[in-house]
Structure 1
Amino acid sequence: MATATGKPAVDADGLMEMSWDPITRIVGSLGIHTKIDFAAKRVAECYSTSSIFRGYSVFMKGKDPRDAHFITSRICGICGDNHATCSVYAQNMAYGVAPPHLGEWIINLGEAAEYMFDHNIFQENLVGVDYCERMVRETNPGVLELAERTEAPHAADHGYRTIADIMRSLNPLEGEFYREALQVSRYTREMFCLMEGRHVHPSTLYPGGVGTVATIQLFTDYLTRLTRYVEFMKRVVPLHDDLFDFFYEALPGYEEVGRRRVLLGCWGALNDPAYCDFTYANMADWGRRMFVTPGVVVDGKLVTNSLVDINLGIRILLGSSYYEDWAGMEKFVERDPLGNELDERHPWNQHTIPAPQKRDFDDKYSWVMSPRWFDGTDHLALDTGGGPIARLWSTALSGLVDIGYIKATGHSVQINLPRTMTKPETALEWMIPQWSNAIERNRARTYFQAYAAAAALHFAEQAMEEVRAGRTQTWEQFDVPDESIGCGFTEAVRGVLSHHMVIRDGKIANYHPYPPTPWNGSVRDTYGTPGPYEDAVQNTPIFEENPPENFKGIDIMRAVRSFDPCLPCGVHMYVGGGRTVEETHMPTGLSGLAGG
């Protein structure tokens, strides 16, 4: 990792300005701009920026609604199937169609495979590098020395004797575990392709179901790979528990890195076809029957798990964004299908009016709007914690999921993985943590990989029962109405995803997809409230041992990356004094694996 030399810029308050811009992965351009108080070893200010305008909400207008999922899957080069799925959900509602049960089980199997694939490659091959031996040696050599002397508590489960051995296994390209994870990413992607034809833009996914030809052989091919993944997870969970617990022990106070108030949003995922009819009137009920329970969690308490409440509370604020306000313009939808009045800042009523301008941190500085959830009093800057921590927290508190392999208890999520070739049956339990911080976001990602695998076992069993019973239909016919609205809710890998569509004269009149990045990476809103990246980095303590002139910013990067943003394959770092250097965290070639 290269660093800058020379005297950094210091402002009148003695704060040092440092920027990481761009932090990119697939699309868009994320920048993190900070002021650091090195005397107090703490980040004083943070601004999150994006310099790319995508414009999907603009050019979707006038399109055939049936093309929506094919177009919106191109929003992203790694989680495009999440967009396609969410768009299909919105279309199902708009068209009044529900897939046959088998079709829905196949979609669930595809989405579960996507969680397994994406979380694996991110955790081990991207964010994991921040905790590898080479990185820790450069930023905290004292911590590495302690890691060499620290026995791994679960060495018998994962095979690495010391914490330093775990760190070495994560070294890019050289590390044993790093290389193994690349192979896992290959067969989990194959699992997705078995269900939906192609990754990352599904070729057999449509409104009304799927075009996949369902056979026992198809699901057997999926299960052979899934069994390998289940065995892999029996090593991964204890390995990461050992690594993350060590950081708390080695660096007292490390729980403050990336910590923010518990403000979590989960829109739910993986529908149960026995209950989900895609009607808005029944959405609160079938939403609660999802295999990942939707919910808004504030200060550790479940505020609601109703998708209707969640939908009505969404507000799109501007504040520091490069757009003109649409206040007072036409409302596309006055009331929802249940008669509830819709705010003009709801996605169904949003107008997108880009207003490019020079970046000004005292005014407007990003293309990212500021989605918020209105609880009747405050516009809450919810985050997804990268997806898994919000999903597990909401599911645990609701206590509704109980499918044998998974049980939500009200305070935890129990995951039971069956016996595999070399590993016995294994019981795991994710406990609601004390904090929403960098370490716990990463830990939750590991546990949710096991959760997705356990859920997929259930889905495969249900799908094979349908085939054996002769119920092999996977698609239901539908008609596109001249006038309609629809909304889809699911969880993209990184967190909440919604698609809101308005149809007029048989064409799309308004369409707004809201993936997790605008929620996590939003900017200071109309009320001056910072977005989650900004909030998590501000006040983060600095534990890095390097002096300012050789500062790498590892604690800041761990805080940002814990949200699973569009993670960089390469980062450019600007340190005052006008010097720009390239800081490369990932070896050449990994960008292709990450989708961009």
Structure 2
Amino acid sequence: MVTAAQRKSGGTTKTDLVEMAWDPITRIVGSLGIYTKIDWAQKRVVECHSTSSVFRGYSIFMKGKDPRDAHFITSRICGICGDNHATCSVYTQNMAYGVRPPHLGEWIINLGEAAEYMFDHNIFQENLVGVDYCEKMVGETNPGVLEQANRTEAPHAAQHGYRTIGDIMRSLNPLEGEFYREALQVSRLTREMFCLMEGRHVHPSTLYPGGVGTVATVQLFTDYLTRLMKYVEFMKRVVPMHDDLFDFFYQALPGYEEVGRRRILLGCWGTLNDPDHCDFTYENMADWGRKMFVTPGIVVDGKLVTNSLLDINLGIRILLGSSYYQDWTGEEPFVTHDPLGNPVDPRHPWNQHTIPQPQKRDFDDKYSWVMSPRWFDGTDHLPLDTGGGPLARLWSTALSGLVDTGYVRATGHSVQINLPRTVTKPETAFEWKIPQWSNALERNRARTYFQAYCAAMALHFCEKALAEIRAGHTKTWEPFTVPEEGVSCGFTEAVRGVLSHHMVIKGGKIANYHPYPPTPWNASVRDSYGTPGPYEDAVQNTPIFEENTQENFKGIDIMRTVRSFDPCLPCGVHMYTGGGRTLQRIHTPHAFTPAG
């Protein structure tokens, strides 16, 4: 729906404000809608609201369930990253039950998760978000840019095989493009890799608290490695190709760094545990969290605030603000102090009650089913985003400088990735360097580099798993008992970013359970302090570079901004541009000042 509005500014100057809505953008994990007001004279989005029209209520029907069923149930939260939820739930249960899986079981889980990251990032980057940068889309929205792309030599043509930037764009055309089709074939390999480790994608059938039921053999890891090395060779083309493409947009459209740019407020909960250090105890969580192969961390204005999972956990707050729920702070808290005696806030997930309150959407009041997770730094409730997942992960890992496997090394300012010789390509080194901005292009670039990062890590995990088998350590599961009472939490990274599960057990059953995936963090609405969520903040500061007129406007810069966060699958975008209703409104000059 598009409607037009006008306001008077300075007494005489009129600026056209056009209301435009893209709804739905995605039909996965809620129906995402983006509602904007665009200042056509300034070619800039000045206001944005992010909405979700679907309520699911997992936290409600988890109550009273056997804790041992938690991972099977929460896996069904999502049909895309269900294994991430299952893994996080297993971590949560391991803490609750006091069980430490055998090393081999943890290496298998790491191999499964690494395959999931490779699979999902590949199919999203090349077959979904890549379409926003393909020849057909660029030709429809910025024909002048396409002409320039056809004249521009690709700096890394020798590595990826495409002579010009225009050739890269043509290769990304849906169904017809060479690279588009190749990426689909590669995604099959990575899905097979996941199934080798965890039985079924995306709802694992061999993943349990205490380890896995996978039968570990040399042949199993050989089958995984055979596919992995094909992916490694693929990445040696993908990284330089995307560097050329994204760098070109900066050159072709001066100022394009502002598209999707917001303040650097990144959160990463860490992923891929090191079984040599991870015992899943809450008391040691800060220590074993820092040993993860992706380092947890909160990055504010480019600086690392903390890499302690203990600090991260205690700082989480769930604010309601503009979402369709009743407040629960009058309820008796489930947890007043954590296992170390630290006070737990009433708005922490351990204490949350989900009390739905459906109502008519009102952008001045309540307008979405998404709550507003925030991280409290002692002074402010920070609206963290995940950078689509990889940007926060690489940034946090780089700054901490703790990871060094031989294949991957964090330097304090970058992440170095070393990929071994493959069938047709020599040993190759890449380096992801901390960028100047947290914006659309850098979220996408990080997604490419993180695929290479995961491939390198998977090589390390395979070596570790094979060493266990050769040493005769073939056990993959450890028995456990369910306590009558307990509190626990699990932290990992879903493909799109931060994922936590918080559980309270009473009488041997689940009394409270709250999963928080990246979607509510990124798609959160204006909170009780009036602070917009990351989608809203990133979109409403975005300039418009599209060359089309208002009548033919596609909103490509807005779509690139939203999709750069990887909002699950953007499987359908619909916008009606004709027959809109014109609204004549008089506003004060500050009425459309971008918030945040």
Match of 2:509 among 491, 507, 510: 507
Match of 2:41 among 39, 44, 48: 39
Counterpart of 2:588 in structure 1 is none
Letter in 2 for 1:488: G
Counterpart of 2:118 in structure 1 is 116
Letter in 1 for 2:359: Q
Secondary structure of the residue that 2:4 maps to in structure 1? coil
Secondary structure of the residue that 2:330 maps to in structure 1? coil
> Which segments of 5 or more consecutive residues in structure 2 lack a partner in the other structure?
9-15, 582-596
Counterparts of 1:377 and 1:485 in 2: how far apart (Å)? 27
1:393 and 2:395 equivalent? yes
1:239 and 2:241 equivalent? yes
Counterparts of 2:578 and 2:379 in 1: how far apart (Å)? 41
Letter in 1 for 2:128: L
Match of 1:87 among 86, 89, 99: 89
Letter in 2 for 1:107: I
Match of 2:523 among 521, 524, 545: 521
Counterpart of 1:373 in structure 2 is 375
Greater Cα shift, 280-289 or 21-30: 21-30
Letter in 1 for 2:189: Y
1:252 and 2:254 equivalent? yes
Match of 1:10 among 5, 8, 13: 5
1:535-577 CA distance string (max 9 Å, x none): 0001200000001011000000000000000232221214474
Counterpart of 1:582 in structure 2 is none
Counterparts of 1:63 and 1:276 in 2: how far apart (Å)? 27
1:487-516 CA distance string (max 9 Å, x none): 000000000000000000000000000000
Counterpart of 2:590 in structure 1 is none
Whether contact under 8 Å (2:563, 2:570) holds in the other structure is no
Match of 1:480 among 479, 482, 485: 482
Secondary structure of the residue that 2:575 maps to in structure 1? strand
Counterpart of 1:563 in structure 2 is 565
Counterparts of 1:309 and 1:8 in 2: how far apart (Å)? 46
How far the C-alpha of 1:25 sits from its partner, in A, is 3.9
How far the C-alpha of 1:8 sits from its partner, in A, is 4.6
Counterpart of 1:346 in structure 2 is 348
State the TM-score, normalizing by the size of structure 2. Answer: 0.95
Q: For 1:270-419, list aligned pairs within 5 A.
A: 270-419=272-421
How far the C-alpha of 1:253 sits from its partner, in A, is 0.1
Whether contact under 8 Å (1:495, 1:515) holds in the other structure is yes
Whether contact under 8 Å (2:496, 2:568) holds in the other structure is no
Greater Cα shift, 561-570 or 540-549: 561-570
Counterpart of 1:497 in structure 2 is 499
How far the C-alpha of 1:327 sits from its partner, in A, is 1.2
Counterpart of 1:594 in structure 2 is none
Counterparts of 1:222 and 1:193 in 2: how far apart (Å)? 10
Secondary structure of the residue that 1:128 maps to in structure 2? helix
Counterparts of 2:5 and 2:380 in 1: how far apart (Å)? 36
Match of 2:169 among 155, 159, 167: 167
Secondary structure of the residue that 2:29 maps to in structure 1? coil
Letter in 1 for 2:131: V
State the TM-score, normalizing by the size of structure 1. Answer: 0.95
Match of 2:547 among 534, 545, 548: 545
Counterparts of 1:69 and 1:9 in 2: how far apart (Å)? 48
Secondary structure of the residue that 1:356 maps to in structure 2? coil
Whether contact under 8 Å (2:539, 2:561) holds in the other structure is yes
Secondary structure of the residue that 2:447 maps to in structure 1? helix
Letter in 1 for 2:5: V
Secondary structure of the residue that 1:15 maps to in structure 2? strand
Counterparts of 1:489 and 1:8 in 2: how far apart (Å)? 43
1:166-191 CA distance string (max 9 Å, x none): 00000000000000000011010000
Secondary structure of the residue that 1:231 maps to in structure 2? helix
Q: Identity of paired residues, percent?
A: 86
Whether contact under 8 Å (1:27, 1:76) holds in the other structure is yes
Match of 2:463 among 437, 440, 461: 461
Counterparts of 2:247 and 2:288 in 1: how far apart (Å)? 37
1:118-161 CA distance string (max 9 Å, x none): 00000000000000000000000000000000000000000000
Counterparts of 1:27 and 1:397 in 2: how far apart (Å)? 32
Counterpart of 1:429 in structure 2 is 431
1:40-94 CA distance string (max 9 Å, x none): 0000100000000010000000000000000000000010000000000000000
Whether contact under 8 Å (1:233, 1:450) holds in the other structure is yes
Counterparts of 1:297 and 1:551 in 2: how far apart (Å)? 36
Counterpart of 1:261 in structure 2 is 263
Letter in 2 for 1:393: W
Whether contact under 8 Å (1:23, 1:566) holds in the other structure is no
Counterpart of 1:554 in structure 2 is 556
Secondary structure of the residue that 2:489 maps to in structure 1? strand
Whether contact under 8 Å (1:9, 1:577) holds in the other structure is no
Letter in 1 for 2:415: V
Letter in 2 for 1:571: V
Q: For 1:201-216, list aligned pairs within 5 A.
A: 201-216=203-218
Counterpart of 1:61 in structure 2 is 63
Whether contact under 8 Å (1:18, 1:576) holds in the other structure is no
Whether contact under 8 Å (2:80, 2:568) holds in the other structure is no
Counterpart of 2:181 in structure 1 is 179
Counterparts of 1:260 and 1:276 in 2: how far apart (Å)? 34
Counterparts of 2:310 and 2:571 in 1: how far apart (Å)? 38
Counterpart of 1:107 in structure 2 is 109
Letter in 2 for 1:467: I
Secondary structure of the residue that 1:264 maps to in structure 2? strand
Greater Cα shift, 328-337 or 131-140: 328-337
Match of 2:134 among 132, 144, 152: 132
Secondary structure of the residue that 1:573 maps to in structure 2? coil
Relative to structure 1, is the Cα distance of residues 443 and 482 closer, same or farther in structure 2, using a 3 angstrom cutoff? same
Secondary structure of the residue that 1:571 maps to in structure 2? coil
Counterparts of 2:500 and 2:237 in 1: how far apart (Å)? 34
Whether contact under 8 Å (1:322, 1:364) holds in the other structure is yes
Counterpart of 1:96 in structure 2 is 98
How far the C-alpha of 1:9 sits from its partner, in A, is 2.3
Secondary structure of the residue that 1:94 maps to in structure 2? helix
Counterpart of 1:590 in structure 2 is none
1:378-398 CA distance string (max 9 Å, x none): 000000010000000000000
How far the C-alpha of 1:27 sits from its partner, in A, is 3.1
Secondary structure of the residue that 2:5 maps to in structure 1? coil
Secondary structure of the residue that 1:556 maps to in structure 2? helix
Counterparts of 1:10 and 1:254 in 2: how far apart (Å)? 27
